[in-house]
Amino acid sequence: MRTPEEIMQDLESRVAVIQERAGRAEELLADSAVTLADEDELVTVTVNAGGNLTGLRFSPQARGLSGTGLADLVLQVYNQALEESGRKTAEIMSTLLGEDSEAMSVITGFTSPRTES
């Protein structure tokens, strides 16, 4: 039978491992921005790990697009970047939470591509 001291040491050791993994996940998430452009590189978007748009650039050739065409292209590239960001975020978080954990299934539900209804 283990002593209370052994139980506490084991618990402290587990907490230290979790803290180390969480710190590493935080670093990876901070550095996991996704930047994508369309095939013709008219529009380039950057999204962070949370899927927030953090950068948007247009090439000079983008001036030839209509407003609607440009808006559609921005949304298309943004959605592709969002999908890639979700994959990266899920991959990073699975190292912390465990790929088959219940918490990971919640994250995957939020980071998976959404289909329009």
Tell me: the pLDDT tens digits for 10-28? 999 989 988 888 888 788 8
* Distance set, CA 56 to CA 59, 61, 83, 98 (Å): 10, 15, 17, 34
C-alpha gyration radius of the chain: 20
Check residues 104 and 72 and name the one with the higher pLDDT: 72
Banded pLDDT at 117 (limits 50, 70, 90): very low
Domain limits, the chain: 32-111
Q: Which amino acid is at 29?
A: L
- pLDDT of res. 86: 87
> What does the pLDDT average to over 40-51?
94
32-111 CATH choice from 3.40.50.300, 3.30.70.3280, 3.30.1310.10, 3.30.43.10: 3.30.1310.10
The pTM assigned to this predicted structure is 0.70
Start-to-end CA span in the chain (Å) = 58
